[in-house]
Amino acid sequence: MKILITGGAGFIGSNLVRTLHEGSLLSADELVVIDNLSLGRREFIADLIDDSRLFFYEQDLLDAESLHAVFDKHRPDLVWHLSANSDIGYGAKFTDWDLKQGTLATYNVLEAMRRVGTKKVVFASTSAIYGEATVLPTPEDYGPLFPISLYGASKLACEGLISSFCHNFGFQAWIYRFGNIVGKNGTHGALVDFIGKLKKSPNRLPVLGNGKQAKPYLHVSDCIEGMVFGFQHANEQVNYFNLACPGATSVTALAEAVVEAFGTDTQIEYSGGTRGWVGDVPQVRLDTSRMTSLGWQARYSSDQAAAKAVEELMEQMAPGV
């Protein structure tokens, strides 16, 4: 099998590439990785790049001509589309960013697939498509869908494009609406932010919001295993799942875990308000029964995933602390 991964040097992508390279969950004869390295890092997969089974392309998905050239050369059997702007706040400052790096980039990937006859796509969506849901835990059939961030709006548009390509061109898709993913190679999010802040100023930790915001945190290893399991066990034309763990962890609990790991006398200072930033959904709970009915569930609870991620990120970001 030839597998192409967009965003393959990023947080989730680099973990997926390594798992596929090892072949422990899903084997591949050829791995094609595309990443523009805006958030991804070459060092995450540097030891794999010289492998004869792996081909790495540093390029942007908005460059349709270059993207088509890669598809023409490799003609993948399966695309794992993980590339996106993962900084929700950045999208609020530059209002066309999610449109370009999310929706238009996804169209380019789907069109490249159509041109060479690639029919299968796994897509990293988000729970942000639900907006501020009134049903918690939120099931996949919740509606109406009114995202409150441009990131969520872009992901919802991408799901629509994928569904349309499935029905017009015989594609098959696996769409995963993630909770918050944490763990090794993290490039963004609260834990990465807190560790970075404490490295600069160990006695003070500013936290957005009132700290009561709470979301399900899924360890990246569970995320990878869940995506592969769903791909192997769900066979509808358009398969869509919440991918998370039951429960949630508060921002205060995350901040306290990082402070404890640093072992410093740190004052946690909250900016106040019920949400961290414009577009932030302060309370997220996801109904994971559809994945459970397939026979899969996360190994780590939300609190366990957060604790494990703190250990991994401290080792990567703050060696010796």
Q: Which residues are catalytic?
A: 151
d(CA 208, CA 231): 37
- Residue 25 to residue 139: CA distance in whole angstroms: 27
Q: Are 234 and 172 in contact (CB under 8 A)?
A: no
Contact 62, 100 (CB under 8 A): yes
Q: How far is CA 244 from the centre of its chain?
A: 11
Backbone angles phi, psi at 79, to 5 degrees: -115, 130
Amino acid at the residue 186: G
Q: Is the dihedral of CA 318, 261, 16, 238 positive or negative?
A: negative
Task: Please answer whether residues 171 and 120 qualify as being in contact, where contact means their C-beta atoms are separated by less than 8 angstroms.
Answer: yes
User: Strand, coil or helix: what is 17?
Assistant: helix
Q: Which residue type occupies 178?
A: F
